[in-house]
């Protein structure tokens, strides 16, 4: 087994991570949402390596990360609506699914056979520095084994991928804690995955709430598989009290809860803590264990939180 390097968030660590990416190696790095597993999007062997390291199904496309709108326009075709969204929310936790530009030079594996590409500009300063130093678009799904709980710290990355990737650039905990919102602009605009930009935020730019299509057997964007973000333990949702043997995860006042997403009922805090709390609950539950989750409102970031919890609780493939 190869040793996975833990790189410091300084100029030397960024330079080393960028050199590894340009050489076709895989490097995990922090974004404001979760840690991404980066590979150069123009190097087919690197993109293949992402799928292999994660055990990710080949029909599940990847998100390409770039440092700014100008770089994004070299890879995808933007219309006025897409540019308005980019100017409103980039850099930030919004991914746009847009027509792939002819001659973009991306590995065909990234789009999983679709004529579109998912693309975003992350806001995390370390991600920005790494993208600019690398000088290439970087494909980066969440840095965890496919279907398992997403990572929000470097330790989470190493728990799942140590020995499978070249390095992790350690930037501390991620601030948002749930993956980016994925939107397909159009008439009507389609919300393919709720995330760090809320539907209400999008509506202020779009003039209408985006619709939520049903999940497809062949995903158009990441995060559309029915079972995803899953701990080993079974998960029960909307639990107002635990059953015997369950680890109860609260939201708001929940006397006796073993863990809490947010004791004050703050959705921003709950999103930032979601995946770490799920990991801790899974350890407490142990083999064959069960986790019960208190109700979380379906407003604002609650839509993204409930999306992740619903997939975590779904029947496993």
**Pair (160, 292) in one structural domain:** no
Mean pLDDT, the chain, whole residue set:
94
Contacts of 103 (CB under 8 A, 6+ apart): none
pLDDT class of 226 with cuts at 50, 70, 90: low
State pLDDT tens for residues 137-181. Answer: 999 999 999 889 999 999 999 999 999 999 999 999 999 999 999
Per-residue pLDDT for 220 more than 80?
A: no
Whether residue 307 lies inside any domain: the answer is yes
Q: Is 268 a domain residue?
A: yes
Position 228 in a domain: no
Q: Are residues 100 and 242 in the same domain?
A: no
Number of domains present in the structure of the chain: 2
pLDDT above 90: percentage of residues in the chain: 89
* 44 and 144 assigned to the same domain: yes
Same domain, 197 and 243: no
Does 222 fall in a domain? Answer: no
User: Given this model, what pLDDT does residue 230 score?
Assistant: 81
CB atoms within 10 A of CB 238: 12
Domain boundary among 187, 206, 225: 206
If asked whether residues 171 and 266 sit together in one domain, one would say no
Could you tell me if 186 and 44 lie in one domain? yes
Residue 187 has pLDDT above 80, yes or no: yes
Strand order in the sheet with 63-65: 5-7, 167-169, 27-30, 35-40, 138-139, 63-65, 116-120, 94-99, 181-184, 190-193
Same domain, 127 and 199: yes
In a domain, 72, yes or no: yes
Domain containing residue 308: 234-313
* Together in a domain, 278 and 149: no
Same domain, 151 and 253: no
144 is a domain residue: yes
pLDDT at 227 over 90: no
pLDDT at 81 over 90: yes
Statement: residue 224 has pLDDT above 80: no
Residues 6+ apart with CB under 8 A from 163: 1, 2, 3, 4
Residue 161 lies in a domain: yes
Residue 113's domain is classified under what CATH number? 3.90.870.10
CB-count burial class (<10 Å; 0-12, 13-18, 19+) for 66:
buried
Judge if 40 and 117 occupy the same domain: yes
pLDDT exceeds cutoff 80 at 229? no
Question: 163 in a domain, yes or no?
Answer: yes
- Residue 46 shares a structural domain with residue 112: yes
Whether residue 153 sits in one domain with residue 241: no
Domain boundary among 206, 225, 244: 206
* Mean pLDDT, residues 22-33: 98
């Amino acid at each position: 087994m190869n040793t996975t390097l833990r790189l410091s968030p300084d100029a030397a660590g960024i330079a080393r991570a960028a050199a590894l990416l340009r050489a076709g190696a895989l490097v995990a790095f922090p974004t404001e949402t979760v840690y991404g597993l980066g590979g150069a999007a123009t190097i087919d062997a690197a993109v293949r390596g992402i799928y292999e390291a994660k055990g990710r199904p080949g029909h599940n496309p990847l998100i390409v990360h770039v440092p700014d709108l100008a770089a994004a326009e070299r890879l995808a075709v933007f219309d006025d609506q897409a540019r308005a969204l980019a100017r409103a929310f980039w850099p930030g936790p919004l991914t746009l699914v847009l027509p792939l530009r002819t001659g973009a030079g991306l590995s065909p594996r990234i789009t999983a056979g679709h004529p579109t590409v998912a693309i975003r500009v992350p806001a995390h300063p370390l991600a920005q520095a790494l993208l600019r130093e690398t000088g290439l678009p970087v494909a980066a799904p969440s840095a965890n084994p496919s279907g398992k709980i997403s990572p929000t710290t470097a330790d989470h990355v190493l728990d799942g991928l140590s020995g499978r990737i070249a390095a992790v650039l350690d930037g501390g905990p991620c601030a948002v804690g749930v993956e980016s919102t994925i939107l397909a602009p159009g008439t009507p605009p389609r919300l393919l995955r709720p995330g760090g930009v809320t539907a209400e935020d999008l509506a202020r730019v779009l003039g209408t709430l985006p619709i939520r299509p049903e999940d497809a057997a062949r995903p158009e964007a990441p995060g559309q598989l029915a079972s995803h973000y899953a701990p080993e333990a079974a998960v029960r949702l909307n639990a107002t009290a635990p059953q015997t043997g369950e680890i109860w995860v609260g939201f708001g006042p929940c006397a006796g809860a073993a863990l809490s997403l947010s004791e004050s009922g703050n959705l921003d805090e709950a999103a930032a803590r979601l995946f770490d709390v799920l990991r801790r609950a899974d350890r407490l539950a142990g083999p064959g264990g069960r986790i019960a989750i208190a109700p979380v409102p379906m407003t604002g970031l609650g839509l993204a939180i409930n999306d992740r919890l619903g997939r975590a609780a779904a029947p496993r493939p």
